[in-house]
Amino acid sequence: MHSGLNDTERHLAWWHAKQGNAKIVIGTRSSVFSSFADLGLIIIDEEHDGSFKQQDGVRYQARDVATYRAKQQNIPIILGSATPSLETFVNAESGRYNLLSLTERATKVALPTIELIDLTRQPTNDGLSPGMLEAIKATLSKDKQVMLFLNRRGYAPVLYCKDCKQAAKCHRCDSHLTLHRRVNRMRCHHCGYEGQLQTRCGACNSAEMIDVGEGTQRVEDAIALRFPESTVLRIDRDSTSRKGELAEVLEQARSGKADILIGTQLITKGHDFPNVGMVGILEADQGLYSTDFRASEALFQQILQVSGRAGRRDDVGRVFIQTNFPENPFFEKVIKHDFIGFAKDLMKERKAAQFPPFGSFALIRAESPHQAQALQFLRKARHDIQPSDGVRLMDAVPAPMERRAGRYRAQLLLCSHQRSALNHTLALWLHLIATDKEAKKLANSVRWSLDIDPLDHF
């Protein structure tokens, strides 16, 4: 059960589950709401994955809905992950969940060795350091596949004017346009805008435009130039846009026909590539110093997930991580595959700050074509909200990316030690929105939403 089914296929899948003809139902997050004749077990695979959270429309966390459903029907639920979310880890540590640890891989092969490449000593060219290129060469000489991970598609994330120092920006968002060299187009990865390649600067009309940074397309070109005898396969949303194309590409990778695989997070999702002997992670620093308090958790999960693609059969795999901060304590835990130690350190930080999972967050978001309206609505909301004991209200502020798809966005964060106090506070405010004329008028003038347990604050 998934969104790729047409209406007839979706109806048949739902009907077979409801009638009990389908003994096993495999689905994406929305399948958690399916009807079942006699549901006996729920399994959430890769439970830490952020895609289980529905971010728009009817907002819900499918993992939590599944847990609630299992409790209501008194059936077991298994949350599986090599790198559990901190919420799940805390529940397991406290004894609320039973913790079952698998101490070895299914194939009995040891975990891959992880090595750091210090970019302060080895400058990169097209995102590739000499150490990374040498490791690729050594792996290919053993007839093993290489996987390179870079979570940025396109050719270059910035097109920059050498004369006036201005970068090409999206006219609808507070973001740069990404260069896609194959089609000579500029694209915004936030709102979907697409335009012609800018050969002249929009600010000073200079022709001195240079592309800065690396995406998967640029790395693919660089690898093809340096290893002309190897077959290179790029796996990202741009190369797998047609229906069925992703399955074809993954089968090509599994069969060993491709020597070097280059991809975004699409290649981290639990795939089994038997012949991959080495994984190279090209940009590991993006989540180290982020404003998002969950960034380091997500980065650790991502690194260990993609590292797990190496050496899954006979030989121990090797993982190389390029970083400008090799002395960061974060990497000590990564090298040892010590997720438990990392999670416990993170728990101490979160507990001291009363951040989730030791506190609850709710985010009221608002957006409008007019810059002042979203903030005006949220400032009114902050004035109207009567917080229960233990509930804190932050100030209404513009979103980190204030303008997106032509609309100005703002947000108001509520924090609480207790979920019940937060729910009570929000229930009173929602009642006011429905009954107070002034509050209702302001609410109708913007597009707003209430997100409980927000995964991102962007």
The DSSP-derived string for 331-391 is HHHHHTT-HHHHHHHHHHHHHHHT-TTSSEEEEEEEEESSHHHHHHHHHHHHHH--PPTTE
> What digits encode the pLDDT tens for the residues 64-98?
999 999 999 999 999 999 899 999 999 999 999 99
Under 8 Å between Cβ of 217 and 153 = yes
Which residues, listed in sequence order, are joined to residue 60 by a DSSP beta bridge?
54
Instruction: Work out the number of other CB atoms within 10 angstroms of the CB of residue 281.
Output: 24
Instruction: Give phi and psi for 324, each to the nearest 5.
Output: -90, -5
Q: What is the pLDDT of residue 267?
A: 83
Contact 378, 408 (CB under 8 A): no
Residue-level length of the chain? 458
Contact 343, 301 (CB under 8 A): no
User: pLDDT (tens digit, 0 to 9) for every residue of the chain, 458 residues total?
Assistant: 988 889 999 999 999 999 999 999 999 999 999 999 999 999 999 999 999 999 888 889 999 999 999 999 999 999 999 899 999 999 999 999 999 998 887 777 888 999 999 999 998 999 999 999 999 999 999 999 999 999 899 999 999 899 998 999 999 999 999 999 888 899 999 999 999 998 888 889 998 899 999 999 999 999 999 999 999 999 988 887 777 778 888 888 888 889 999 999 888 776 788 889 999 999 888 888 888 899 999 999 999 999 988 887 778 899 999 999 999 999 999 999 999 999 999 999 999 999 999 999 999 999 999 989 999 999 999 999 999 999 999 999 999 999 999 999 999 999 999 999 999 999 999 999 999 999 999 999 999 999 999 988 87
pTM above 0.85, yes or no: yes
User: Which residue is listed with tokens 């728990």?
Assistant: 347
pLDDT score for 4: 82
pLDDT for 241 equals 74
pLDDT for position 88: 96
Say what the pLDDT of residue 242 is: 76
Specify the amino acid at residue 257: K
pLDDT digits (tens, 9 = 90+) for 385-435: 999 999 999 999 999 999 999 999 999 999 999 999 999 999 999 999 999
Query: Residue 220: its pLDDT value, please?
Result: 95
Which of 323, 382, 327 is closest to 118 using CA atoms? 323
Could you count the other beta carbons within 10 Å of the beta carbon of residue 428?
15
| Strand partners of residue 361 | 415
Going from the N-terminus, what domains does the chain have, and what CATH number goes with each?
A: 7-80 (3.40.50.300), 113-154+214-350 (3.40.50.300), 157-212 (no CATH), 360-452 (3.30.70.100)
* Structure confidence at residue 458 (pLDDT): 77
pLDDT, position 85: 95
pLDDT on residue 299:
93
Residues 6 or more apart from 152 whose CB is under 8 A from it? Answer: 213, 214, 215, 216, 264, 283
Q: Which distant-in-sequence residues (6+ apart) come within 8 Å of 178 by Cβ?
A: 153, 154, 155, 156, 157, 186, 187, 188, 189, 215
